Structure 1
Amino acid sequence: MVGNPDFLTGQGADASEFQELETPEGELHLRFFVASGAELALPATGIKEVLSQALDRITPIPNVSPLLLGTLNLRGRVIWVADLGQFLGDTMQLNTDRTEIPVIAIEDQDTILGLAVEAINNSTAMDWLPTDEMRMPVQVPDSMAQYIKGEWVLDESEERVLRLLDQIAILRSARWAL
């Protein structure tokens, strides 16, 4: 195929038919839900991996912060797994009565943390979100405010918003020392 002269020059039967590629607007984000049903997003650049983890693969550790579910082995590296909703002050607990839990591994420099969430948004898990439409957060609980970069209005009539989290602020939080 590479030896075919038409391949190198772009000439041939399909040369007149070019496929138009759309350039996405904004930045790529992962959308997900915490136990209360609030939808949140993280920038794709700060995510190391997204996995569905069996609950029996997360090892509980005694005498640690109640925000931490335990540890798991991620490709030979032991990382902490936290209930993101509880960390953000959510009053509802993560549903652990199921076979697998979605875990988002976030990373900054050499630090990795697993964030257990209720669900990944199946219809728009990875979404290009327009940064110019993001606004400053409104009516954010105090426990969550320092971890929110901004928000997008999804439905004004229902007051639904998508909040963008700051993964670096989450990783460096003093709450982990509780």
Structure 2
Amino acid sequence: MVGNSDFLTGIGQNGTPEFQELESPEGELHLRFYVPSGNEFALPATGIKEVISQSPDMITAIPNASPLLLGTLNIRGRVIWVSDLGQFLGDVTMLNTDRQEINIIAIEDQDTMLGLAIDRIVGMDWLDAEQLQMPTNVPDSMAPFLQGEWLLDEESGQFLRLLDHVAILRSARWAA
């Protein structure tokens, strides 16, 4: 493995091959995404079952269900509820469902799965939990579902907030 030429970066001054140092990432892997209001959030990769893009007509609306729920979705034979995450967190901006595909993050804990419909995905990122701060200036409707936040830009006051997927799944708001 060490002698694999794929890792060679060139020949050193003394004529011996130089190898590329592989950096190990710091922190834990997280999925970063936006809700319709423009707020950015992250979820630990360990709490995510899968991420899918689904046509809105594949989500079946259920009469008399909570207004936070868009409906149900069949994922490989398993029916899961799909929620507008922004609305769940107290945002007034509703998810635009008049588009070709909706991004859905399927979270799971102890055999309970829920789809969180979001606006757009940023991508995966290694984030250091030691730099996580206590949330400041957050609405009361959002606070119980946050584990903390990272300050992205001090000048603009832009934060990346870390969600607690277990608290979201176990919330009493689903019964409303």
- The TM-score with structure 1 as length reference comes to 0.89
Q: Mark the runs of 5 or more structure 1 residues left unpaired by the alignment.
A: 1-6
What corresponds to 1:54 in structure 2? 55
Unaligned runs of 5+ in 2: 9-16
Using the TM superposition, give the Cα deviation of residue 61 of structure 1 relative to its aligned residue in structure 2, in angstroms: 0.5
What amino acid does structure 2 have at the position aligned with 1:126?
M
Counterpart residue number, 2:144: 146
Kindly report which structure 2 residues correspond to 1:1-178, keeping only aligned pairs within 5 A, or say none: 16-121=17-122, 125-178=123-176
- How much has 1:43 moved relative to structure 2? 0.3
Q: Percent identity?
A: 68
Task: Quickly say closer, same or farther: Cα 1:157–1:17, change in 2 above 3 A.
Answer: same
Query: CA separation in 2, counterparts of 1:45 and 1:61?
Result: 30
SS at match of 1:50: strand
SS of residue matched to 2:105:
strand
Superposed structure 1 runs of 4+ greater than 3 Å apart: 10-19
Q: Distance in 2 between matches of 1:133 and 1:74?
A: 36
The DSSP-based 3-state class of the residue aligned with 2:24 is coil
Other structure's SS at 2:22 match:
coil
Q: Please give the alpha-carbon distance, in whole angstroms, between the structure 1 residues aligned to 2:97 and 2:130.
A: 37
Q: 1:143 & 1:12 partners in 2: Cα distance?
A: 54
Cα distance in 2, alignment partners of residues 129 and 175 from structure 1: 29
The residue type paired with residue 137 of structure 2 is Q
How far residue 20 of structure 1 moved from its aligned partner, in angstroms, is 1.9
Residue 3 (structure 1) aligns with = none
